[in-house]
Amino acid sequence: MPTAESAEPLPTEYASFQNFPNPFRGSTQFRFDLPERTRVRIGVYDVLGREIVNLADGQLDAGRYRGAWRGLDRGGRLLTAGVYFFRMEAIAFDGAKKLGATRKVMLTE
């Protein structure tokens, strides 16, 4: 699950930033901002749209967040080099989608 970074003032907009480094080998960092408490779901998908691993799925308070992905699938196995996609969704309590973002991620050998 991503961890909150200390931030003053709190973000005023929903935002998802490109992971870095990209391409990567070993680990890549991702960041996002939430202006209010929101349900967040972040998954990594292959080029066929199959979910490889779920990185977050739950309620998060307002703030700036950072997480990491080490190129592992849900079973903890290292994936082969290739193109993958981060998909982040932020959904408000009333069910309204506040953010839907997809970012291309390249895993190298």
Whether the pLDDT of residue 106 is over 90: the answer is yes
pTM of the model: 0.88
Q: Which CATH architecture has domain 3-107?
A: Sandwich (2.60)
DSSP state, 76?
Answer: S
Q: How confident is the model at residue 95 (pLDDT cuts 50, 70, 90)?
A: confident
Using an 8 Å Cβ cutoff, are 99 and 41 in contact? no
Q: How confident is the model at residue 7 (pLDDT cuts 50, 70, 90)?
A: low
> In whole angstroms, how far apart are CA 88 and each of 18, 28, 75, 100?
11, 15, 21, 6
- Rounded Cα distance between 90 and 32, Å, is 10
Q: How confident is the model at residue 9 (pLDDT cuts 50, 70, 90)?
A: confident
